[in-house]
Structure 1
């Protein structure tokens, strides 16, 4: 086994390419990832060299359990098998995708886009966010009429997500009572209201037209190559849902509050003009509420280090500011 490269990944390389040898493995370590990944340099039997982006399960049992509970590994593999082929340059090209339902083991081999500039929540520009919005608007428009033959694709407002949300909101409430969420304290009243009105929140969401959404779209999930298109990665939470889930996370987490306030209306217009549809504001506000929930749940699972750096400002400060600006911290956040 090449150091840092598990045998199943090497086996997938051997069955996908005319593999002579693996020349080099460069781990890709970015915060918050649910899986291990690496850029892999290989040589084929005819002497051709290429690089491949490889992805496989996390080394940490706790993260693997979380991935299995959410279906994250299976969802991403099935996304590349069933949906990615129609996305053009908006997602990496797939070389290999396999998943074992029994063990939840998986291997993804994707087009290497190591030459693209990675997005960065803490340091994104309005131009970066604008590029990502144009890309996701095109995908939302493509899928707005529905997708066929994808029984694995969950509904954001479906029973599985509702059960997960109820469990996590109860866990957040217990942690808050013990003083474990000081960094995100401004969001706690909004989350308490979400907990009380969860069924109505989801009922309102279910009335939206819906599309296929990334589910965790922020600038850390975006690559910015030289071409005009942004590339969206990490499709582990792909689901049917309202477009505002993606749009709110991208804008609110991608820009400091003062920049978001200056450009928010224009960015929403960019999304609409790029094919993303109209009537987005209510969905956008629902996306802010859900982002508050997702980020607090993530921080609680990851531990106190998430609130002691620039990451804490992205997760909590930016979201709380957006919630306040949209009147979601005044007792109307869920039913607005």
Structure 2
């Protein structure tokens, strides 16, 4: 069997569901195996959120190593989500991540089949479907167990350690370039109205005592983000809620890299523990889980962080998952609402328990 060098110039861009054709699939297969012929393609499902996520069954006569179940991300077919994600080019970022960085990331993730982005035209990302290997997808809003939480924390520590001090490497500077600066600017401009609307829609999920502090955070978001980005820099996922994992033999894999960036590693830990654990479990185990994170970092040659400092930074970083979940609710159509409300409830409880907004007093 002859394998082709990827033809990065063949057009695989898709913007509508009826663009998924045998001819389109053949272009992708040709990148991996010249002699393989696509016989049929079937659309299994299409889920519209921040992107449109499509699952396909592709019948071909190629080797077993070439997947027959594909997972494709294209720009959202929902106009509101598309508008929110278009300017910061979130799908373009994920496409570039899979194309240029993913091979160096020591985490389980879907295999890349094809990726293409074009300024002003959108992006298309084609991955193997985790269902083909028997992995189970996570669900937004589900509560993880303590063994699952420990597995995620350990994997995040290995990931962060692998990219410790990354801001010195010019190959990754694009992650903090104009696209991220535009995203941060838009986030700051929209912070107050989104926080106001999100708090109103969240109703009882956020205690009234948090409203004033949440709006203060939104008004001072630019300065607070500078403070939160002040720690040791590494590569971070920045969207570690339970819907962005998959599970294989009790080990987590990581999905949805649209928000990947250079930042402080404990930000991922705060986001994860605030959204994925029921408050009682988090309250009982967050310090041991932070110790596990710190010890695993050290075991993988990352610079050691003092426990007290790590705890303080963890508390401060709880502000972002709270904002992210409230803003998601305010925008609407980006996540199933009950799952969104559940993660708002958990994040609100975490930031209230640990006086997370007060931990930003230094900002």
CA shift digits 1:89-109 (9 cap, x unpaired): 522221211112221132323
Root mean square deviation, CA, Å: 3.2
| 1:65 corresponds to 2:83 | yes
Aligned twin of 2:322 = 292
Aligned twin of 2:138 = 119
CA shift digits 1:105-150 (9 cap, x unpaired): 3232336454112223423211112111111111111111214423
User: 1:237 & 1:123 partners in 2: Cα distance?
Assistant: 22
Task: Give the one of 337, 341, 347 matched to 1:319.
Answer: 347
Structural mapping, 1:233-252, within 5 Å: 233-252=255-274
User: 2:334 & 2:170 partners in 1: Cα distance?
Assistant: 42
| 1:213 corresponds to 2:239 | no
Aligned twin of 1:260 = 282
User: 2:328 & 2:335 partners in 1: Cα distance?
Assistant: 11
CA shift digits 1:293-314 (9 cap, x unpaired): 111110001169965x354122
Task: Give the one of 119, 122, 127 matched to 1:104.
Answer: 122
User: 2:173 & 2:279 partners in 1: Cα distance?
Assistant: 39
User: 1:23 & 1:174 partners in 2: Cα distance?
Assistant: 45
CA shift digits 1:222-263 (9 cap, x unpaired): 11112x642111101111111122111111111110111111
Q: Give the unaligned 5+ runs of structure 1.
A: none
**Pair 1:265–1:44, CA change in 2 (3 A):** same
User: 1:233 & 1:46 partners in 2: Cα distance?
Assistant: 26
Aligned twin of 2:7 = none
TM-score (norm 1): 0.85
Equivalenced residues, count: 329
TM-score (norm 2): 0.79
Contact 1:243–1:283 (CA<8 Å) still a contact in 2? no
**Pair 1:255–1:126, CA change in 2 (3 A):** same
User: 1:245 & 1:167 partners in 2: Cα distance?
Assistant: 22
Contact 2:195–2:330 (CA<8 Å) still a contact in 1? no
| 1:94 corresponds to 2:107 | no
User: 1:155 & 1:266 partners in 2: Cα distance?
Assistant: 35
Contact 2:198–2:329 (CA<8 Å) still a contact in 1? no
Q: Give secondary structure in 1 for the equivalent of 2:171.
A: coil
User: 2:91 & 2:334 partners in 1: Cα distance?
Assistant: 26
Deviation at 1:151, TM superposition (A): 4.1
**Pair 1:40–1:298, CA change in 2 (3 A):** same
| 1:335 corresponds to 2:361 | yes
